[in-house]
Structure 1
Amino acid sequence: MRIDAHHHLWDLNAVNYPWLMEKGAVRFFGDPTPIQRDYLLPEFRKDAGAAGFSASVHIQVGAADPWAEAQWVQSVADQYTDWPLVQVAFCDLTTDDLAEQLDQLQSLPSLRGVRQIIGRAPGEDQLSGTNELLDNPKFLAGLQQLGERGLSFDLQLLPELMERTAAVLAQAPSTQVALCHAGSPHDRSEMGLEGWSKALKSLSALPQVTCKLSGLGMFDHNWCANSVGPIVETCLTQFGPERCMFGSNFPVDSLSSNYADLIARHKALVPEAQHDQVFGRTAQQFYQM
């Protein structure tokens, strides 16, 4: 089974996404204008299916009402039973009613974990203040509760935050963690990638952390297999194929490539003997599919 372990869907009539529909706002991943429209499973499935995929993992994407988004994703999973679809929903791990919110989310059969973004991009993080989660004891307690419930945590952050984050995750060893977008190496200079690789070791040293080869075009719309080759090689070396999984990050990464080119570039960079693992088995095991 080939599994796309990181993508998004949205029905703009069913769920409100304030960040997506903001007019004239250029984000760290580019101008969202081309994706300010419905993006539904049939469209995603057409591209992913043509590339050999037959199942996927939906990742929360900043809805105004996270519960409404999670319910809508469940309705999609229920409608398209021939396409195995599981989801990672949003939950604020610092909220006082965390147990109740997690109980509610776990009523959805498709739920596998939660994501609460720690870092997106340097400029945006200064405005959002999400980096401060790492210093909040409630955040650590929430991470620990996820592990107790058998839920995973999708981790999105910047290289500058890796060592601090690793110290927090080390205190929640039973919580399985998926590192989104290879840890967002936003500085693609030689020095920038050296710093990212060094910081990444703090996370790859933790056995509960698995790395997603995803989102590689967000910080470089002119990316190609050669330009991101060092990133993929470093991830495979540090984590091993058993802890690496592919994710398209569509439709966000459709701003930098089409699906066919994106998967072709990843397949060219991952040794063929590791394809079954990276493009399927790792995600199948991690997300209990």
Structure 2
Amino acid sequence: MTDLKIVDSHHHLWDLEANYYPWLSDRPEPHFFLGDYSALKRNYLPEDYKRDAVGFNIVKTVHCEAEWDRDNQVAETEWLTGLAARDGMPNAIVGHVWLDDPDVEAKLEGHCRSPLMRGIRSKPVTSATLDAPRPDGPRSLTDPAWRRGYEALGRYGLSYDLRVPFWHLGEAAELIEKHQEIPVVVNHTGFPWDRSPEGLAAWRVEMKRIARIPWVHLKLSELGLKDAPWSVESNRAVVLEALEIFGPERCMWASNFPPASLRVGFRDQLEGFLDILSGLTRPELDAVFHDTATRFYRL
């Protein structure tokens, strides 16, 4: 479908020679959700993305923070803004601040100096499994300082990218529904990591809880599993159910490249999504691949 205009609503870029990303440089992440990620420890720049995406009509992209040095978070936005001026991408930026930082508003002001700034992703502290106790300390979803920082996003006209395991979606909904002024998008299909009938049933409940909030959207992205290959058949039911829960007008496709490359190539992933979504009408396809992201990120 070469005429389909596509917005990639979530990808990453990094230059390991010029900039510092602790998780890619000298502080290995022992609990990375896809396991061994040593293949990601290489530069990934606009020319690399464009090579991966060749053959598709990618008209705009959204860069989501890539865990840049947390001692200088605004610098990532400044660097990306320079890349965009040179290479024409990304076209919008989701930056990072620690929401419990006493200087959160000063950092938000720094990000907002870029005309590409649209939102913030700041991962709260979460539990490792569905059955583990929910954290309630610093940087948890219940932390008063974290909640004050979240509220500040509305004053700067910023959206929020929610990236938590599915078992925290309902908990997050309790905060999100108090702030209609902050558009929210759930990352990575709500992370349906447990594909057992019981795991999917729990994922379904949490997805429905947060989808009841009309200003919450969903990224149909990153269906990779730690111990299984990416395939159309293993992901078809999850994608179609997520789409049914949120509706095409609140769903947006995203590549999550290069992390997703650990399990699937760009072409195979995007063609796989097009296969899964082949039953949609053309207006519905346009919503998922272009219109929802364009509206949400003000492209």
Give the percent of matched residue pairs that are identical in Structure 1 and Structure 2. Answer: 32
Q: Please name the residue that 1:137 is paired with.
A: 144
Matching of residues 265-284 of structure 1 within 5 Å: 265-270=272-277, 271-273=279-281, 274-284=284-294
Determine which of 97, 100, 110 is the counterpart of 1:91. 97
Compute the RMSD of aligned alpha carbons.
2.2
**Residues 89 and 111 in structure 1, CA contact (< 8 A), matched pair in contact too:** yes
Distance 1:252 1:218, change over 3 A: farther
Corresponding position: 1:2 with 2:6 = yes
Q: Please name the residue that 2:232 is paired with.
A: 225
Provide, for residues 181-224 of structure 1, a one-character-per-residue CA deviation record: whole Å limited to 9, x for no partner: 01111111111011101111111001111000111114454121
Q: CA deviation at 1:55?
A: 1.3
Question: Which one is further off, 247-256 or 131-140?
Answer: 131-140
Q: Please name the residue that 1:107 is paired with.
A: 113
Specify which structure has the higher proportion of helix.
1
Distance 1:100 1:25, change over 3 A: closer
TM-score (norm 2): 0.89
Show structure 1 runs of 5+ residues with no match: none
Provide, for residues 118-162 of structure 1, a one-character-per-residue CA deviation record: whole Å limited to 9, x for no partner: 267827x99x99985211122222222212321100000011111
Matching of residues 1-289 of structure 1 within 5 Å: 1-22=5-26, 27-64=32-69, 65-81=72-88, 83=89, 85-118=91-124, 122=128, 132-219=139-226, 221-270=228-277, 271-273=279-281, 274-289=284-299
**Residues 218 and 253 in structure 1, CA contact (< 8 A), matched pair in contact too:** no
**Residues 242 and 277 in structure 1, CA contact (< 8 A), matched pair in contact too:** yes
- Paired with 1:114 and 1:227, the residues of 2 have a C-alpha distance of 31
Aligned length: 286
Which amino acid letter does the alignment assign opposite residue 37 of structure 1?
Answer: R
Show structure 2 runs of 5+ residues with no match: none
- The DSSP-based 3-state class of the residue aligned with 1:58 is strand
- Paired with 1:4 and 1:131, the residues of 2 have a C-alpha distance of 33
- Paired with 1:186 and 1:177, the residues of 2 have a C-alpha distance of 21
- Paired with 1:44 and 1:121, the residues of 2 have a C-alpha distance of 33
- The DSSP-based 3-state class of the residue aligned with 2:140 is helix
Provide, for residues 84-114 of structure 1, a one-character-per-residue CA deviation record: whole Å limited to 9, x for no partner: 5211000111111122111111001111101
**Residues 53 and 266 in structure 2, CA contact (< 8 A), matched pair in contact too:** yes
Distance 1:84 1:254, change over 3 A: closer
Distance 1:161 1:131, change over 3 A: farther
- The DSSP-based 3-state class of the residue aligned with 1:55 is strand
Which amino acid letter does the alignment assign opposite residue 58 of structure 1?
Answer: H
